[in-house]
Chains A and B, each alone.
Chain A
């Protein structure tokens, strides 16, 4: 689709053929304005079409790593490549599902408009959503079972429904790489089922999905690979834990460091 006035120039750079979806090298990463290191010695490569889990306890740096991949943090040292291109080159291909508290849920927008914001990257300045955008939004709402709630103000939804609305937005964006920050954190069983179904569907369509989670239970069924984080560093997989596809530097050997 042709964007009239894109939010950032050079947005529609084509991917480098054969490049992995994500290739990250971060020797040191700080949050702007802080002294302590949030991430250290991270190397992560995620091939196109893979489903990778970032596993670790709270505060391990999972969200930080996702934000760095999403281009939400300045990366003064190291490199983050998306489809072989530097950050910012492929913004329309990347969808990011934030943790729920990043959003002002009391703001007067309804669910449909929230999902529509996923289309904005394809619209740019001044252009209004057209019939094709509305169709994609309706489809995303349908997939996540939110059609009946489309006109509700976003604050009226339950936590699980809010999470589904955010995932619907990521679908409406029609991105190739999805970064999901704890999508199943504190949600109801219904939402769990719907979200798992949608993630499986995404994989069938060849999308790449990186998910932060602290749930070790379903790694083997839901993911192709796992990347273990602790205190901002990569860790070897705990003995007996799922590893699958190798995406980091650590090899799955159960030898103590």
Chain B
């Protein structure tokens, strides 16, 4: 049993565990809405558009998280604005915007001699989270969970019946903007864990697995959170013992959980209770 406990005597592992639990919680709970409202592509796009913000912050010596937050917020507002105008279809608008911003990030990166400095942005480095950043992560997770709890009935209604929401004067676009802002915050924290390229996996995979196992929303969120936190732990072990990239290990653990959920789902369908 000693090998199970051994990693946690190091403070960087403890910080990593705490960080991955916080991030997993926020990503999984919000991810349920991302999956149910079919915003998966948007989550991925948000993660990618953050790149130039982070790189610019790095180059100017500005706080990285602050740079990411600014870029994510601008993107969230921009996408909301774009999709209301309907000049081009929303997914097209997102596709154009997200590749353009990502390319800008890469361009900025290439002005620096060493590409290596940015690998933790691209692929995440959960063990590199500083105790200071832990507070930021805690604040983001707290805000996400509090907002989801306080506006549960409005989020739910605008998701499955926007017409009724509009009828009673509930601003559907306002709720959507709020959700996009929360998504931006969550993506910024997810990037610390698995990086720009894989963040949407944290949003989508645990929530999708949970949606196969339950048809009650609160239960779905709890399950998704459990899967995300468990995957974080598995990823940390993997990187400790096998010296593999923690972000990739975490995402693969999520993928494995989805596979298991899918098998359970398929089994239940074949053998009705």
- Contact mask for chain B residues 146-166; partner A; CB cutoff 8 A; 1 contact, 0 none: 000011011011011101101
Name the CB-closest residue of B to A179: B167
**Is there a chain B Cβ closer than 8 Å to A159's Cβ?**
no
**Is there a chain B Cβ closer than 8 Å to A26's Cβ?**
no
Decide: A104 and B169 in contact? CB cutoff 8 A.
no
Contacts A108-B211, A108-B217 given; indicate if A96 touches B167 (C-beta within 8 A). Answer: yes
Decide: A109 and B169 in contact? CB cutoff 8 A.
no
Decide: B160 and A7 in contact? CB cutoff 8 A.
no
Q: How many residues of B contact A (CB 8 A)?
A: 25
Decide: B169 and A7 in contact? CB cutoff 8 A.
yes
Decide: B169 and A6 in contact? CB cutoff 8 A.
yes
- Contact mask for chain A residues 119-158; partner B; CB cutoff 8 A; 1 contact, 0 none: 0110101101000000000000000000000000110000
Complexed CA–CA distance, A126 and B154 (Å): 9
How far is the CB of B150 from the nearest CB of chain A, in Å?
A: 6
Contacts A108-B216, A109-B217, A153-B215 given; indicate if A70 touches B167 (C-beta within 8 A). Answer: yes
Q: Specify which chain B residues have a CB less than 8 angstroms from the CB of A114 in the assembled complex.
A: 161
Q: Specify which chain B residues have a CB less than 8 angstroms from the CB of A184 in the assembled complex.
A: none
Q: Specify which chain A residues have a CB less than 8 angstroms from the CB of B164 in the assembled complex.
A: 96, 98, 117, 169
Q: How many residues of A contact B (CB 8 A)?
A: 34
Decide: B167 and A91 in contact? CB cutoff 8 A.
yes
Decide: A72 and B163 in contact? CB cutoff 8 A.
yes
Decide: B168 and A91 in contact? CB cutoff 8 A.
yes
Name the CB-closest residue of A to B164: A117
- Contact mask for chain B residues 121-154; partner A; CB cutoff 8 A; 1 contact, 0 none: 0000000000000000000000000000011011
Residues of A1-45 at the interface with B, using a CB-CB cut-off of 8 Å, are: 6-8, 11, 33
Q: Specify which chain A residues have a CB less than 8 angstroms from the CB of B216 in the assembled complex.
A: 108, 110
**Is there a chain B Cβ closer than 8 Å to A84's Cβ?**
no
- Among B36, B86, B157, B166, the residue within 8 A (CB) of A108 is B36
Complexed CA–CA distance, A110 and B211 (Å): 15
**Is there a chain A Cβ closer than 8 Å to B89's Cβ?**
no
**Is there a chain A Cβ closer than 8 Å to B214's Cβ?**
yes
- Among B86, B153, B214, B217, the residue within 8 A (CB) of A33 is B86
Contacts A88-B169, A108-B220, A120-B170 given; indicate if A102 touches B161 (C-beta within 8 A). Answer: yes
Can you name 13 A-B pairs with beta carbons within 8 Å? Answer: A7-B169, A7-B171, A71-B167, A91-B168, A94-B167, A103-B163, A104-B160, A108-B36, A108-B215, A117-B157, A120-B153, A120-B154, A121-B168
Given contacts A128-B153, A154-B160, 7 further A-B contacts (CB under 8 A): A72-B167, A103-B160, A107-B156, A108-B36, A110-B216, A117-B164, A120-B153
